[in-house]
A = this chain, B = another copy of it.
């Protein structure tokens, strides 16, 4: 009823999955959903979904479930997706270019707003209507546009340096694709996307299966 507790970060990380699933349901013209049904779609228990949502209020109706559109709107508001977030992208290699061209961001509250690289051959060229800028201009450009979010897609060796520039540019949240843990002040959020590490954690299980077979 009265919510004093601040929601733990695990809960915050699940909310976007709930939101996405609700968007798909909406596309399928499903109007109402129970925690049970929602959970089956995303492999989360019904109790978990209900408990997670309870950190933010009461959104369901007993005996009925949740109104898909209403719940989606609530979760999007909670996540701050009722506004558009400009994002700076640093490092326009193969990966950076794929990120810059990805349509899935724009549709979901994320707008790639500035591109940076250090390669003189890339600086000045355009991708999707945005000009790649010299990454020494990060601070000025990001401040001008009030960008608080950035994506790092540079090689590991340059990641910390770029992170430092972002922090002095006033960036408060970083999505790091570089295979390197970066150090930032405690008021800056960092999340790491690390496909190699993820694959390596799965080879562990594959290797053990091979052992079992002998």
Residues of A within 8 A of B (CB): 9, 12-13, 15-17, 19-21, 24, 41-43, 78-81, 83, 85, 87, 93-95, 97-99, 101-102, 104-105, 108-110, 148-149, 151, 156, 172-173, 175, 179-181, 183, 189, 191, 193-210
Given the known inter-chain contacts A102-B95, A149-B203, A201-B16, please indicate yes or no for A193 contacting B191, CB distance below 8 A: no
Interface contacts beyond A21-B181, A95-B102, A98-B98: sample of 17 additional A-B pairs, CB < 8 Å, sorted by A: A12-B201, A15-B200, A16-B200, A20-B179, A24-B156, A79-B201, A79-B207, A80-B203, A80-B204, A81-B200, A83-B207, A94-B97, A97-B98, A149-B199, A172-B205, A173-B202, A191-B202
Quickly give the copy total for this chain: 2
| Pairwise interchain contact A109-B203, C-beta atoms closer than 8 A | yes
Main secondary structure of the interface of A (DSSP, over half): helix
Given the known inter-chain contacts A17-B181, A17-B197, A193-B193, please indicate yes or no for A12 contacting B101, CB distance below 8 A: no
